Structures are given as C-alpha cells and as structure tokens.
Structure 1
C-alpha cells in the first residue's frame, strides 16, 4: 500500500548493453545478490529474495531479520506484501468477468449504489475497469492528512491496532474532491482497490479474502500466503519489520519495530502476507495463462502509461509493466506497507520470476534488484 503509492519506488536509469536474449536466459544471479547487499548498505536491516527460472531456483539473503538478536534474514521468510494484493484482487474480478458475472465496463454504482458520491465523486460515471487501472480519479484515502499522520508518523504507535471497515476507508476518500474526471488521467489510488474488494463481495457473495483463498491460494498451493482481516501478528517463519515512521525519513531518525499492525487499514488494497516462492508461483501462473482465459489476461496486460516511476512504464489491471535498461519487459507489482517493501515480477511467459522483500521501508533501491536480475551483464 504505502503512503505515496508508486512514488515509493526508486527511479533507475542505469545503462546496460545486455541483449534481451541474454537477460532472459537467467545467467547467474551475482548482480542480484549485490543489489540485495547494496540495499542493506543503504540502511535496510535485511533483504530476502528468490528467483525461479528455466534452470533452477536461486535464493539470496542479506542483513538481519531482527535488530535485537542479530538473527539473519531467511530465504523462507513470510512478509507483508502490501499492494501486490491488488494483483490478486484484480485476478478474482477478471475470473468473475470470464464467468459472465460482471462486466469490466459496469459502473461502480451498479454494484455499490450510493457508495461513491460526494465532493464531485460519482460512481455512476466510473467503471470497474477504471478502478483496476487507476483512471477513476478517485482520491486515495492513504493521502488524507489525518490518515497519513496516524499511519506513517510516530502516531502509528498509538493507532497500529485500529480496525477500519472498507466503508470507513472509502468515506475518508469521499471527504476530498476527485483528482480528475473519470478516464481523464492516471493516479494510483488505494481507494480503487478498496472498492474492488467490495465489488468482489457483492458479485460473489463471499469476502475478497475467501475468494482469493478459494480461487488462487488453494489451487496453486500457496502455503505461505494468507489474507488476514484484522489479525496483527505475523505467521512464522518471518522477520521483524522496521520503519522510521516519518513522512520525510532521515537515516538518523529512530528505528521502530512495526511488525505487529492491524492490516484492515490496507484491506483489499494491501493486506496480504506471502513469501518469495509463493509470489513467484503466483505471477508465473498468472502470466503463463493458468489463472485467466486469454481474453482476460489480454485485458489485464492492456496498460495506461505511467511516467516518473523508474522502470515502471505502464499499469494494466492490477499489473505493472517494468522495462529494465537492456530491453526485456517484465510484469508484476510492487508492495509497500509499514516496515515492508517488496517487488515481484516475471517475464511475459512466466518462466523467469523474481520476488524479494526489504524489512525496512525507508531505504534501498528495489528497482535496482530487478535491473540486476534481468540485465545481469
């Protein structure tokens, strides 16, 4: 989820002359390990990641998982994946579309009458598609000044166990004017996916958590993946998660343990927990056509342009397009939440996948890890 969405992703423009073929071949992971190490040198307590390609499974770790004990990061750590939750939610909605139970061009008001209204917001003019690709113009509740203060400053320590309902989160957004007319621009909004989760429940009759479990987690055997509602603790094995709890963090700021938190503040925009192996399995299956029919996967990969986000050049339906410097394209999503910054990407055929996590949210260049893996020379 994160306070500022895509702005948390560091820009990377380093030049490389590696050919796309060489990048796709998965030749070694030395630079990937170096990029994980560089994040730790930059101030992240620890990093963990995994690569699944045509030839092998590689795991890499760096730094510590617990600043008090000095215990290292583990290759099998579970961690909060933040906005990668959006890809799971979008996949469920596209499955429902393939079953004929809704249309991406349905207006939000058809499924959630009267929910998106006030201060210029109008759910009768916004489609489900516009929620999923962030062209709705709906204000992101995580940009609300009061929400920012409670969630991303030291006030978090007083509010970490607060419970939010989806209706409350949408209500926060409705206090603000839209950013633009529906379809007239692009802006990352967590409110879009709060609404998407509500639509999943309205269409299916089950919560988005249950639908993700039934349709994705169980069929793929994602044993490290869970969709917590309000539970604040982390499943084992896992490392501690750390934050500076500042909107403008400095290396000298105090470091806070933020491992325990009530994920309802993120909900269907970013509450899930997973691990690198499970994320690789999920994105590989998704891009490999195992979760969606060809038409729905094509719609998911139909992007709108994104600028100023480093390697990220387009946003589809809960799916980001990354273009490293050597010419290869990869698909996936990033996810930031208090104390946790993660990325997961895979090649268009789903056969070369990378997922990793930093257990600190104020430092480290996550896009440099992607660049290192797919442009290794």
Structure 2
C-alpha cells in the first residue's frame, strides 16, 4: 500500500493541445472500456469537470468467473485511501481536546506495545500521521506475508497487537524526523493511530468511523472490512500472480487462475483478505460515498480551521504548479484514487478491483481522464 502520491502525480501533467470532437461522456466511457479490454476485470470512475459537470461510468464485470454484471456503485477496497479516514478521526479528537498532535504516543499505548517500539517516548502523534516517525512497517516483514498467504492470515480478522508483533526487534527506518520534512512510509504508523483512537474513545475504530463520518455524511455503503456488523463484502479482487508470495501460493494450489483468464480471484481463496489492513487500509466504499466524502473534506465541514489545515497538509502534494488533495491506494487486487486537483477544480475518483495488467493500470487511466477533464 505504500504508494506515494507523487508517483502518480508526476505523470499527470500532459500536453493539452489535442482537439476532441467527441463529447466528454463518450470519451470517458471509451477510456474505461479500453482499460477493461486490455485486462482490468472491473473499473468504475467519477469525474467532475472544471465547470462542475459530473460524469460516472463503469466497465467490466464484478466476477469474471460467472460474468456477474458490474454496478456503478459497487463497493471496492480502498487500501491506503483509508488512512484519510483514520487521520480525520484523530484530528477530530484533537478538536475535542482529547489529545494533542505533540503528545508522545507512549501516553496512549499499553506497556506491552510500547516495549516493541524503539523511540516510543519521543515519537509524537503528528509524526505518525505524517510518516516521519521512522517506525519499521510491518508489511515489510516477509513473515507477515507468509502468514497471510500460506496460513489463512487473509481469511480472518487481526488484532492490532498481532500486527505490531511483526515490528518487534526490527531496526527503525530512521530516527524520528521533523514532521513533513521527509516521508518514510510505514503502515505501522496508522495501525498505532487506530489503537490510539480505540484507547481514547473506549470504542472500536469501526464504530467511531461510523459515528463520526459514515452516518453524518450518509455514506451508507462504506465500511471497515472484517469489522462490519452487516458483514458486507466488497467486489471480488483479482491479481496476476507475479509476486513471490502469490507465485508460491499458486504453486501450492492455494490460488488458482480463473478459467480462461490470467487473473486469480483472491477473494475466492481468502475470505477477508484485506481486513488485516484495518486503520492503514481496510475500508471499502463506492464512488457515490467517496464523492460525498471528498466534498466534505474540501469544504472543511468535519474539522476546525486549525485541524483542517493539518488535514490538507497531510494529504496534499504539489507538482508543476498544481496541487493534488486526496489519496491513492494500491495493494494486491486493489487500485484506487480519490483526488481533487487545484487550481483546475477537477475531482477524479477511480476504483479498480485488480493489481492491473501489463498494458493498463491506475496511473494510465487517471492521466487519460485528467487530460479530457482539463480541456474545458
């Protein structure tokens, strides 16, 4: 999930001199259809142009084995876009004077967890939020992925302390840094933030997101996978088994290619395959709910002026005179982006249920949608 926004943004600014004869609606749909034809099982997108005109589209099927029709408002896994939700709850707790961004994390963590984190007494909440803590990411530990792929680790929910076990005795990536000075991406940061939320509120992360975000904004189709009272499931997710762990799982017979396709259905083998991501990437949603969420984030309706500035700084990047606010996410079987582009005032949301193919991926689709949206 450690996809830096700038990796996507640096490829976005393109020549806009092409003159188009088609309507934007047809051009957007053609992009999605081509992406599906080139190998993406399912893709949905929303584009809000500079003039405020909104378009939504889809292409593909939700399950390629059964040729199940795809709905535009199908739920997709979001991966690291979920971190925005976690950071929002933390900042709301700051507004409520229940914690401070300068508090050290040892103040809110149990002694057992503290013992596994080097520099625990000097790392602050803001350093977790801004990926400047230097803490080792548990997703860099191969033993974690072995548990996931070979021992049913993606067919169950995880306790947060189980994830923290994978950083024990691991050297930090760096000493704690000045917030925003350098990003050293670590999913452990946001697992710890989730634990802190639960400690302060005496409530589950899932319930706090529901109470603070999903219900007030009427995001009725958004949930934390594996922790949802309604036991809802997102769309099936597919991969081409290229990673070492996926290849090994394939050789062991744990994964099988979908008949007639190069893809493997992760959701068929691993029933809760993304629930491990929890506060770092476990949320599922659809383009309708994400459009509502992005609007609320832009309008500052969920935070005070002071913490809104922090949210913007945490989730913004600049490139070639443009500012991108929002997030992207990527993991096995997941590609997602939710971005507001300034000063062009364009919103683009793209959700894909696969890791991409040799010919097409999230970055390519995003660039093509942006090119059209910015020629108004």
| Greater gyration radius | 2
2:352 matched residue in structure 1: 358
* Within-5 A mapping of 1:247-266: 247=243, 255-259=263-267, 260-266=271-277
2:250 matched residue in structure 1: none
Aligned residues: 346
Shift of the 91–182 alpha-carbon distance from structure 1 to 2, 3 Å rule, reads: same
On the 8 A contact 1:285/1:350 being kept in 2, the answer is no
Report the secondary structure of 1:148's partner residue: helix
Q: Determine which of 133, 136, 145 is the counterpart of 1:136.
A: 133
On the 8 A contact 1:47/1:62 being kept in 2, the answer is yes
Q: Determine which of 335, 344, 365 is the counterpart of 1:341.
A: 335
Report the secondary structure of 1:353's partner residue: strand
Shift of the 230–298 alpha-carbon distance from structure 1 to 2, 3 Å rule, reads: closer
Instruction: Please say if 1:111 is aligned against 2:122.
Output: no
Q: Scaled by the length of structure 1, what TM-score is found?
A: 0.81
Q: Determine which of 290, 313, 316 is the counterpart of 2:301.
A: 290
Deviations 1:55-81 (A, max 9, x none): 333111122222112234321111111
Cα displacement (A) at 1:201: 1.3
Report the secondary structure of 2:300's partner residue: coil
Deviations 1:311-350 (A, max 9, x none): xxxxx1xx24364x6x542211112344221111124599
For 1:330 and 1:105, the matched residues in 2 are separated by 26
For 1:34 and 1:121, the matched residues in 2 are separated by 51
1:269 matched residue in structure 2: 280
Instruction: Please say if 1:44 is aligned against 2:40.
Output: yes
For 2:6 and 2:40, the matched residues in 1 are separated by 14
Q: Determine which of 159, 173, 177 is the counterpart of 1:179.
A: 173
Cα displacement (A) at 1:253: 9.4
1:299 matched residue in structure 2: 310
Report the secondary structure of 1:329's partner residue: strand
Q: Scaled by the length of structure 2, what TM-score is found?
A: 0.81
Extract unaligned runs of 5+ from structure 2: 18-22, 248-256
1:308 matched residue in structure 2: none
For 2:318 and 2:240, the matched residues in 1 are separated by 28
Shift of the 163–8 alpha-carbon distance from structure 1 to 2, 3 Å rule, reads: farther
Cα displacement (A) at 1:278: 0.6
Extract unaligned runs of 5+ from structure 1: 20-26, 303-315
1:239 matched residue in structure 2: 235
Cα displacement (A) at 1:365: 2.5
Deviations 1:226-260 (A, max 9, x none): 12345699737x53221234426899995321223
Report the secondary structure of 1:334's partner residue: strand
